Structure 1
Amino acid sequence: MSMSTPQRPPLRFPPDFGWGAATSAYQIEGAVKEDGRGESVWDTFSRTPGRIRNGDTGEVAADHYHRYREDLDLMRDLGLRSYRFSIAWPRIQPDGTGTPNQRGLDFYRRLVDGLHERGIAPMATLFHWDLPQALQDAGGWEARDTAYRFADYAEAVFRALGDRVPVWLTINEPKTVVQNGYLSGHHAPGRQDPDAAYLVAHHLQLAHGLAVRALRANGTGRIGPAFNLHPCYPADDSPEATAATRLYDGYENRLYLDPVLTGRYPDDVLADLGPDSRMVRGIADGDLEIISSPVDLLAVQYYTPIYVTAAGDTVRRWPTSEAEWQQIYPEGLYDILTRVTRDYGPIPITVTENGLPTPDTLDAHGTVDDAGRIAFLRDHLAAAHRALAAGVPLESFHVWSLLDNFEWAEGYDQRWGLVYVDYATQRRVLKRSAHWYRTVIADNGF
């Protein structure tokens, strides 16, 4: 008599759970010179020799600007209930200011209408890193004025699309702009200036608050920020590692969560920066009141945990994906979701990015067997389900990404999509993970 492994009961999600996928404008749209679009910092950065792997740019990307109807049909065929995308600021205001470009607004109106026609709820991100180059030339996010220009841009978008978009996200991953754009220099604008970096953090948070107020004054729908949160754990049991982890968490998570949700910057981070830092000197009276304007939801993006040593360095504990910075640890999603609910109260949460790159190739049958992505998503969805059972008000989950796309400094070397893109022909092929996810959505679980 053979012994079989006990089958776990199926995991079922709430009946109205928002199964989705996510993209961003510069990573998929292409058409960088069409219909009045202006230059962005990523156009400039990706054209700079040595910045992007293989000299790749987003000039064509997945050509979504021309193929959006085909991509909408793919979303419908997958059964998506929610689609999280971003609006390219340079399409709306080519120079970052002034009268909105109607052709740019019309593209997003067509996209949003197409989503509604297919029964998919639009979730629009206002800023996914593609700052108009003209604003960068005027100081970029180091300039306080950029936060107010962002509010003007947000108001123009709300006036044009506000009645058709139920959920708005303000700034995507301000931490990545700070850390990759101004500390490591791996992302646009390619700076390595810690004192500028945290002033940028403050101005991004101010821009978020101003956009929230603009929606309340000029539009409808729900609104919140999109933060990539990294649970931080001590690398050992020493008091020194515990203390170092607390401060590391301050820079990774609380610097962004606290001002939006509690109206304060974390004291330990401000003390570590010091009273003479550009950020501390840049906080004006009333700023935190603006930044903490009440939000309707919090978008959480989870990719990796961080393990911190007594010296404040980081170490690897888990296997990594093709993205060497990404440790695969599904438990971290449960930990960060329950931590947010425990520390900040029952604010509705949407997971707006979770995924990994895998070595995807078309096989002889013209399919892609990305078993690693299926295992990753299954384990992370199970962690999300446990968070729901623990009382986290999780409304939706968006896989990163719908399509293979331009992966920033990695160019086209990493494939993160549920859908394979043959860049030479722009042919789309559903990977095995896409077929699996379609079944998950149809069954409302697995």
Structure 2
Amino acid sequence: MSNLPPRSAFPDGFVFGSATSAYQIEGHGFGGAGTTHWDTFAATPGNVVRAENGVRACDHYHRYEEDLDLLAAAGFDAYRFSTSWARVMPDGKTPNPEGLDFYDRLTDAMLARGLQPWATLYHWELPSALADQGGWTNRDIAARFGEFAEVIMGRIGDRMAGVAPINEPWCVAWMSHFEGHHAPGLRDIRATARAMHHVLLAHGTAIQAMRGLGMGNLGAVCNFEWAAPADDSAEAAAAAERYDGYYNRFYTGGIFLKEYPQTVLDGLGAHLPEGWEDDLDVIGTPVDWCGLNYYTRKLIAPTDGPWPSLKEVEGPLPKTLMDWEIYPQGLHDFLLRTAKEYTGDLPLYVTENGMANADELVDGAVADDVRIDYLDQHLAKAREAMAGGVPLKGYFVWSLLDNYEWALGYDKRFGLVHVDWDSLKRTPKASYHALKDALSR
């Protein structure tokens, strides 16, 4: 018996799943996949730990049946996976039969095991050919993304339980174009503003393309990070509001309200593309659900520098191996706020929640009790939000497997299943077994 709440503590039909992403697990050196801006970023000295990349990763491309068996054996209802744009269309425009065949096999293998397929079209592996044309800073990417949606969902869309176009637009735009921590590694406010807008335009364009295929249960998946003032001053409160604006509210505001927050326009308005307001109807194309990826909070203090004039301050709470504070209350508060201010009666899903831990394989087992406690605390807050009227319909753990953690290489282990980076052997951790037990009750 684990300390995790049993399945019976949740309503009938509540979806339990685990999530991964294509580039982080598949092995991008297989199946005719094209190069991506992540391959370029990783090959540039200083960007990624040991210059590691996703060429082999977990070799899910060849081992997907074993991995799906692990999901099914744990009693999960659903698998949230992503499709690689550069695998499906290596040059950004020409379909790759091998790539389409892979996702066809993967989908059928899920269904054969009773797993609901929940797809994300894009989890950051931009084809190099499109990066060469400016990537997310180029307005044309929205149309190209719509074409990608038509190609991949024209093949597997008839069997999807749910689909979202883009995982974590904040990471695609801000983290990658303002902070430079992810591909393409820019630190440019004009590029950031354009990427932020174009990623939402691409989202809306893809939703329309999939509607055109007759698909339903289409959603939006954003990442959320609770912004708390570092002290009681009005200046810290204003800084936290700015952080909340460009991290959280810009994306939910665009998608669900067809507006951008003024706190963000104050700094980025001059850098947005001309006529951006005319795109809001496409960006706000109706969706059927909203997914929240939640991990942590940040304490924010003001600075005298240029907009956004803030900095992060180390907080006092226990931290994960990512140095992220463990703050379950933030999940509760985001669920309530999202329903109240943005989505109304639309179903909500926790589409990612989990933690990196210093997991060690000892005598064939991984004792990750701290992860079990993390999941227990967040599931408790999810249930509290549901008791408060939030229409939460599912919860996906990040991640099924230890995987490629982007600029941090293979050092940070988020998985329920341990992966040996030499042999690629999979070993379920204590958290996997605890979830298996909870889902059986």
The answer as to 2:356 corresponding to 1:357 is: yes
Pair 1:35–1:421, CA change in 2 (3 A): same
- Identity score, percent: 46
Query: In the alignment, does 2:116 pair up with 1:121?
Result: yes
Tell me by how many angstroms 1:271 deviates. Answer: 2.2
1:425 is displaced (CA, Å) by 0.9
User: Shift in Å at residue 9 of structure 1?
Assistant: 9.4
- Give the match's secondary structure for 1:186: coil
Q: Match of 1:294?
A: 286
Q: Which residue of 1 aligns with 2:426?
A: 428
The match for 2:435 among 422, 427, 437 is: 437
Q: Secondary structure at the match of 1:231?
A: strand
Closer, same or farther: CA 173–8 of 1 in aligned 2, 3 Å = closer
Decide whether the 8 Å contact of 1:170 with 1:208 is kept in 2.
Answer: yes
AA of the residue aligned to 1:341: A
Of the candidates 60, 69, 72, which is equivalent to residue 68 of structure 2? 72
Counterpart of 1:308 in structure 2 is 300
Offset from partner CA, 1:411-435 (integer Å, 9 cap, x none): 1111110000112111110100000
Q: Which residue of 2 aligns with 1:169?
A: 164
Contact 2:91 2:130 in 1 (8 A): yes
Decide whether aligned partners of structure 1 residues 398 and 8 sit closer, same or farther in structure 2, where only a CA change above 3 A counts: closer
**Are 1:95 and 2:91 counterparts?**
yes
CA contact (8 A) 1:87 1:124 kept: yes
- State the distance in 2 between where 1:139 and 1:239 align: 39
Q: Which residue matches 1:339?
A: 337
Is the 2:201–2:282 contact (alpha carbons within 8 Å) kept by the matching residues of 1? yes
Change (3 A) 1:206 1:369: same
Residue 320 in structure 1 maps to residue 315 in structure 2: no
1:206 Cα offset (Å): 0.1
Once the two structures are superposed, residues 132-180 of structure 1 have per-residue CA deviations (whole angstroms, 9 ceiling, x without a partner) of 0000001111100011100000011121111111200111111012232
CA deviation map 1:26-73 (0-9, x unaligned): 00001x233321111112212222221122211111000000011111
Alignment partner for residue 23 of structure 1, among 6, 16, 20? Answer: 20
> C-alpha offsets along residues 227-254 of structure 1, whole Å, 9 cap, x if unaligned?
0011222222222222222222111111
Q: TM-score, normalised by structure 2?
A: 0.94
Give yes or no for contact 2:245–2:263 (8 Å, CA) kept in 1: yes
How far does residue 310 in structure 1 lie from its aligned partner after superposition?
Answer: 4.4
Q: CA deviation at 1:18?
A: 0.6
Residue pair 1:403, 1:419 contacting (<8 A) in 2 also: yes
User: Which residues in structure 2 correspond to 1:128-277 (within 5 Å)?
Assistant: 128-274=123-269, 276-277=270-271
> In the alignment, is the contact (CA less than 8 A) between 1:36 and 1:104 conserved in 2?
yes
Are 1:47 and 2:43 matched, yes or no?
yes
- Displacement, 1:308? 2.1
Structure 2 distance, partners of 1:129, 1:62, is 17
User: Partner residue of 1:395?
Assistant: 393
Aligned length, in residue pairs: 430
Amino acid at match of 1:350: Y
Match of 2:59 in 1: 63
* Larger mean Cα displacement after TM superposition, 174-183 or 391-400: 174-183
Amino acid at match of 1:416: F
1:3 counterpart residue number? none
Q: Secondary structure at the match of 2:117?
A: strand
| Aligned equivalents of 2:90, 2:4: Cα separation in 1 | 54
Q: Distance in 2 between matches of 1:285 and 1:390?
A: 35
Question: The residue matched to 1:126 in structure 2 has which SS?
Answer: strand
CA distance in 2, matches of 1:36, 1:374: 38
In the alignment, which residue of structure 1 is the partner of 2:306? Answer: none
1:112 and 2:112 matched: no
Counterpart residue number, 1:4: none
- Give the equivalent residue in structure 2 for 1:14: 11
Q: Deviations over 1:188-223 (max 9, x none)?
A: 111111221111010000000000100111131311
Match of 2:33, SS? coil
User: SS state of the match for residue 307, structure 1?
Assistant: strand
SS in 2 for 1:337: helix
Task: Tell me whether 368-377 or 247-256 shows the greater mean CA deviation.
Answer: 247-256
Structure 1 residues 238, 33: CA separation in 2 closer, same or farther (over 3 Å shift)?
closer
Tell me the distance in 2 between the aligned counterparts of 1:39 and 1:59: 10
- Comparing 32-41 and 154-163, the one that deviates more: 32-41
Matched residue of 2:440: which SS? helix
Q: In 2, are the aligned partners of 1:302 and 1:333 still within 8 Å (CA)?
A: yes
- Other structure's SS at 2:295 match: coil
Deviation at 1:373, TM superposition (A): 0.6
In 2, Cα distance between equivalents of 1:14 and 1:119: 19
From the superposition, tell whether residues 346 and 61 of structure 1 become closer, same or farther in structure 2 (CA, over 3 Å): same
CA contact (8 A) 2:320 2:326 kept: yes
Contact 1:235-1:315 within 8 A present in 2 as well: yes
Give the secondary-structure state (helix, strand or coil) at the position aligned to 1:295.
coil
Distance (whole Å) between structure 2 residues aligned to residue 78 and residue 179 of structure 1 = 36
The one-letter amino acid of 1:22's match is: A
Superimposed CA distance per residue, residues 280-315 of structure 1 (whole angstroms, 9 cap, x where no aligned partner)? x34445300000000001110001112222443322
Match of 2:307?
Answer: none
Unaligned runs of 5+ in 1: 1-6
Decide whether the 8 Å contact of 1:199 with 1:282 is kept in 2: no
TM-score, with length taken from structure 1: 0.93
Residues 234 and 309, structure 1, Cα contact 8 Å, conserved in 2: yes
